[in-house]
Structure formats: C-alpha cells, structure tokens
Amino acid sequence: MNWDQMEGKWKQMKGVVRKQWGKLTDDDLEFMAGSKDQFVGRLQERYGIKKEEAQKQADEWLQAQAEDKPKATKNR
C-alpha cells in the first residue's frame, strides 16, 4: 500500500490510525484525509516530535498495514 492508496481508503483506516495515535482528534483525521504531508504535520503537532521522526513513524505504520493485508491465494 502506498500513500495514494491510503487516501482512497482513508475513511476505513481512520479507526486504525486512532488506535496507533490516540492523541489525534476526529478533526485531525478529517483534516488529514489520508494526505501524508497533513498526517506528518499533525503527528508533529500532537506528539511534539521532529518532522523526520513523524515521517518515519507514518511510513513504518503504512508498511505495517500493507504487511497485515491478507495475501491472495492461488487456485483455492
């Protein structure tokens, strides 16, 4: 999954984001709308971390979501 795909699935993913980052408000999630730049900015604000750390956390979280996605099986 990449950030473009995340934007398309944002409504479904908001609950998962809230589990990871509880300080983010519903307004934050609406404002972000799946945009990586907005996501990183809000992580910086709410958690008082540097941009690089916020980007790292966001990217690691996105990668974890891709890894948790069920794999398609061939010819079941």
Which is nearest to 47 in space by CA: 26, 22, 29? Answer: 22
Which is nearest to 6 in space by CA: 33, 28, 25, 27? Answer: 33
Q: Does the pLDDT value for residue 72 go beyond 70? A: no
> Which domains are assigned to the chain?
16-66 (1.10.1470.10)
For 16-65, the pLDDT digits (tens) are 899 999 999 999 999 998 889 999 999 999 999 999 999 999 999 989 88
Which is nearest to 5 in space by CA: 49, 63, 46? Answer: 63
Task: State residue 60's pLDDT score.
Answer: 93
Which is nearest to 45 in space by CA: 33, 34, 32? Answer: 32
In whole angstroms, give the CA distance from residue 43 to residue 54: 6
